[in-house]
Amino acid sequence: MPESSLPFEDGTPRSLETSRIAWIRLAIGLLQGCALYFLYHAAKDRAWPASDPLLFAPLLLVFFFVPVLMMSALGRLPGRRLWQWMLVATVLAAGLGFHDIWRSVGAPASGDPGANLPSPPYPSPLLWLFGAVGFYIAHSLVLASATERRTIASYPTYFDCAWKLLIQIQFSALFVGAFWAVLTLGAAMFKLIQLNFFIDVLKEPWFAIPVTVFAFACALHLTDVRPAIVHGIRNLLLVLLSWILPVAVLIIGGFLLSLPFTGLAPLWATRHASALLLSASAMLVILINTAFQNGAIADQVARVLRLSARLACGLLLPLVAIAAYALGLRVGDYGWTTDRIIAACCLAVAACYAFGYAWAASRRSLWLAPIASVNIATAFIMLALLLALFSPVLDPARLSVADQMARLENGQQRSDSFDFDYLRFEGKRYGSAALEELKQNAQGRDAALVQIKAAQSLEKTTARERSDVRPTLADLRANLKFWPQDKQLPDSFLTQDWRKEPNPWRLPTCFRNRSTVCDVYAIESDAESKSRLLVVGQDRDSSRAALFAQGPDARWHLLAMLPHDFANCVLFREKLRAGEFTLVPPTLKDLEIAGRRIRFAPVDDPGANCPRVKN
């Protein structure tokens, strides 16, 4: 009898049950699409529930993740177990969303200046990413446990459930992409005959969001009722990926063997050594598992793959050790930050794999058999760490703010070089509270300086302001180098408060950052202004060039910008310093329309064929 006609345990014919599940999944997909459109419309119009951020974010996460989990679990979890898992998933999604927004209360928003919460109040990108990973792992564990009807299932069952779910999601996303490609092509064809209604409908959120989710639900069901196809695709994918393992072992092994000759200094110079090494470790773990699979095919694996997998298990330890050392150096020099705390958690997971796989490789009894136990244990550790990171337990913002404050108080970090803006923009509500405390109750020898800098950071509301470490008057004098050198820069230019410039981002970097030098050249005066100064950045990072004019009110104004690449030309800079330049009339007249002058922008490159500045 074909498998599709076999009855379920309750006696229901499989074909009838499959049909019923199909309709339920499609209904869930349609309802999810409508709910997501409702939330999108509320966020767009700033209406309820988007007007209440602490409610909106939890609702968004619940309606995004939980319906997908329910559609996947239908027919695989018994009724009571299904509703228990959906309840747990709902509580987790809502709780994580609530905490993600709550921790941002009092912190500057990435949107409108002065707002205390993101607007619209969407959850953070990290929560979306790690939330998806966490729910994927948890759902795979739940499905495997239900399949064998025991708390901890066997590794082959975990393997089958996890890979089936991953392939279902990937192919469902591919189906949605193909579906939209067909719709877009159809709309383009109708547009050829001057019928634009189809393409207009595709642009409408009320159509696009529900249809996308509905198509995903259809694809999820189609991949679920064709397990043989999914199984075949999985096997093919694993076989192909497994043969990349020898190449990865050669590359990473060669890298590690080169380190004694090159030293670690070039690695530290990248400033992202930990992230690179952890990425290499993750790649090795994935490739090792493509060769190991469910642990039952050891006799079928080619000898070169068996050897490569064993060597790869040994390479994990030095990779993780160097990554931990790199992270330790950064933490020792600069303290804990949000990124470093997340990296430390990733290192903890990588260490579980590294030590576990090294132990597995050292066993001679059965090829890498202990990997199964290591993978199961590490999956639960990953879930625990993810839950702790996105809850108050290990909130990276809270921990990093506490560490940075401790470094400031015990003298590990000097107050004049302390990054107060980190507390403001990365510390969430904890950082803002710490700045308020410093502003009111700073103590010690530099208490006055700390209070001033804390107050200045609290006034900043955008990330652009954070990047501007505004120089003092002394800094500005050091930053601006006047040519010819036998003359001095006007005091009025130095003492002007450039922070009040309407568009400070248009100023050369030396006006906004310390230790950034610009050349200043005097341009001959004319009848319309008292004098003009050309400011040109000296290096690649500050190579903006701008012309300033002093008006009748004695204030200096940004008059014009030079081409972006102008300052990188060595020849231009040498001629300017030597005073070998003249002012000539423009080659193109302005265009006047309705009383307004429109300037033409020349298409030629003034820096063409010119030697560039090399740093």
Domain count of the fold of the chain: 4
- Three-state DSSP class for 500? helix
Is 9 a member of any domain? no
Is 615 a member of any domain? no
Instruction: Give the CA-trace dihedral at 351, 353, 358, 361, to 10 degrees.
Output: 180
Q: Report angle CA 292, 77, 67 to the nearest 5 degrees.
A: 95
Identify whether residues 322 and 449 lie together within a single domain: no
Q: Which of 180, 206, 235 is at the close of a domain?
A: 235
Is 8 a member of any domain? no
* Conformation bin of residue 534: beta by default, left when phi > 0, alpha when psi is -120 to 50: beta
Residue 543 has a pLDDT of 56
Bridge partners of residue 545, in order along the sequence: 536
φ/ψ of residue 428, rounded to 5: 55, -145
Is 492 a member of any domain? yes
Residue 466 has a pLDDT of 63
Residue 2 has a pLDDT of 43
Q: What is the DSSP string of 398-449?
A: HHHHHHHHHHHHTTSS-TTT--HHHHHHHSHHHHHHHHHHHHHH--STTHHH
Identify whether residues 384 and 402 lie together within a single domain: no
Is 181 a member of any domain? yes
Instruction: Give me the residue label for tokens 């972006």.
Output: 564
Rounded average pLDDT per 10-residue block, the chain, 615 residues: 42 65 95 97 91 94 97 92 96 97 81 46 93 97 94 94 94 96 95 91 95 96 87 91 96 96 85 90 96 86 93 96 94 93 97 96 85 96 97 96 94 85 92 93 85 88 62 75 84 80 76 78 65 79 74 84 75 84 83 83 60 50
Bridge partners of residue 557, in order along the sequence: 549
Identify whether residues 382 and 508 lie together within a single domain: no
What's the distance, CA 545 to chain centroid?
32
Residue 464 has a pLDDT of 60
| pLDDT digits 0-9 by tens, 170-213 | 999 999 999 999 999 999 999 999 899 999 999 999 999 999 99
Identify whether residues 125 and 274 lie together within a single domain: no
Residue 1 has a pLDDT of 40
Identify whether residues 462 and 477 lie together within a single domain: no
Residue 494 has a pLDDT of 83
Identify whether residues 376 and 411 lie together within a single domain: no
Is 59 a member of any domain? yes
* Conformation bin of residue 515: beta by default, left when phi > 0, alpha when psi is -120 to 50: left
Q: Which of 171, 203, 235 is at the close of a domain?
A: 235
Identify whether residues 129 and 164 lie together within a single domain: yes
Distance CA 257, CA 175 (A): 44
Is 315 a member of any domain? yes
Distance CA 531, CA 524 (A): 7
Identify whether residues 463 and 477 lie together within a single domain: no
pTM: 0.78
Is 168 a member of any domain? yes
Identify whether residues 217 and 124 lie together within a single domain: yes
- Three-state DSSP class for 599? coil
Bridge partners of residue 483, in order along the sequence: 521
Identify whether the C-beta of residue 374 lies closer than 8 Å to the C-beta of residue 356. yes
Structural domain range at position 579: 473-598
Residue 72 has a pLDDT of 95
Identify whether residues 359 and 412 lie together within a single domain: no
Instruction: Give me the residue label for tokens 């930050």.
Output: 337
Identify whether residues 197 and 294 lie together within a single domain: no
Q: Which of 389, 409, 427 is at the close of a domain?
A: 389
| pLDDT digits 0-9 by tens, 243-298 | 999 999 999 999 999 999 999 888 887 778 899 999 999 999 999 999 999 988 87
Identify whether residues 218 and 85 lie together within a single domain: yes
